[in-house]
Each structure stands twice: as structure tokens, then as C-alpha cells.
Amino acid sequence: MPINKEKLAPILFILVAGLVIGSGVFLLMKDDSEKKSNDTVDEETEQPVVETNNLEMPEWAVELGIYNPEGFTINKTESLITSFQGTDPLFDSVTFVYEPNEIEAAKLVAEDYKLKFNLVENDTLMNQYENIVLQYDNQKEIEAKYLIIARVEDSGVLTISALNQLQLGTL
């Protein structure tokens, strides 16, 4: 049965929003990884999962154009890099959460990501969460291989996230 991309896109966005906000399913895997070894098996798919607290930018993210902005410090407890290996599902994702900084500096970085990746402002999410002062993403671009999010919170926290939708099976 073919995947209905229009119906799946909002569900994917909610999952990724949960990842970025910090209350989602994917961050729960990060919490579990501290109790287990780094090489675990996804209980649903029984596929090997590689998770890392080594926050070096993966090669695929560098090639995509994701970067750590100068003058910002990565929050190592909130950031996460995942790489799923196996036959299904396969997806890579990065979420870099940066320590609070000047809000205007964080907005400049978000604006740079907006221009670089042709992102649009997400008013819906900004209206839903009072602490989000700016969010750009390409969530409405259903055919995009990577879902990319640049978010600024009122505390000056900057979050940059990228998720391979093609590997996830939503394209």
C-alpha cells in the first residue's frame, strides 16, 4: 500500500517537533542509551541502532551544509545524533541545542539557515509554544529529502535539527 505523504507529513513533523522540543520519542532513546551500551537494538524493528553522545558533525550533515555557529556552545545533554542501520527503517538525524546566547545572535544564525535551505517561518508552532520566538523549517515541502529546523527560544537557546526523510520512508 503506497504511503500517503500528505497525511504522513504532519505526523512526521510532530515527531520531529518532539525531538527538537525535548519531550519526544526520539529523546527518550537518548535517555535510555545512558543506561545501555551504545550498540542497542530498536525494540519495534529489531534493527541495530547506533546512538552517540560524540557530538562531532556527521559527514552527511557537513555535506548538507549543517554547521556549528561560531560563538555558540553545544548543550551536550540536550543534543543528539542518531544513525539507524539495517533494512527498515533507516534514518539519520542531528539535533544540536546550543546554550543560551544573545537572542539577536541566535536569530541571525536562524536567518542564515532560512536563506541557505529556503526555509519558511512556522507560525503554527510559534503560536503553540510561548517560549519559541522564531522557527524556520521546510515542513510543508513534502518532497524535501531532509527536514530542517532552525529554532530560537526566548531564553536565547538555538536549536538546529536535520532529519533524513528519505531514509525514514516518508518520501
Mean pLDDT over 131-154 rounds to 90
Model confidence at 157, pLDDT cuts 50, 70, 90, reads very high
- Give buried/exposed letters for 59-77 (b at 16+ CB in 10 A, else e): eebeebebeebeebeebee
pLDDT at 54: 61
- Residue 119 near residue 109 (C-beta atoms within 8 A): no
Position 37 scores a pLDDT of: 40
Q: Cβ distance 18 to 24 under 8 Å?
A: yes
Q: How many domains does the chain have?
A: 1
Among the listed ranges 34-43, 59-68, 74-83, 147-156, which one has the minimum average pLDDT value?
34-43
Confidence of residue 56 (pLDDT cuts 50, 70, 90): confident
pLDDT attached to residue 87: 53
Strands lying side by side in the sheet with 48-52: 39-41, 48-52, 80-84, 92-98, 158-164, 146-153, 132-137, 120-121
pLDDT at 135 over 90: yes
Work out the average pLDDT over 67-76: 94
Residue 66 has pLDDT above 80, yes or no: yes
The whole-angstrom separation of Cα 94 and Cα 81 is 4
User: Residue 84 has what pLDDT?
Assistant: 64
Domain that holds residue 28: 5-168
Residue 130 is predicted with a pLDDT of 87
Q: Report the alpha-carbon distance of residue 107 to residue 94 in Å, rounded.
A: 20
Q: Give the per-residue pLDDT at 124.
A: 87
Which of 19, 3, 16 is CA-nearest to residue 171? 3
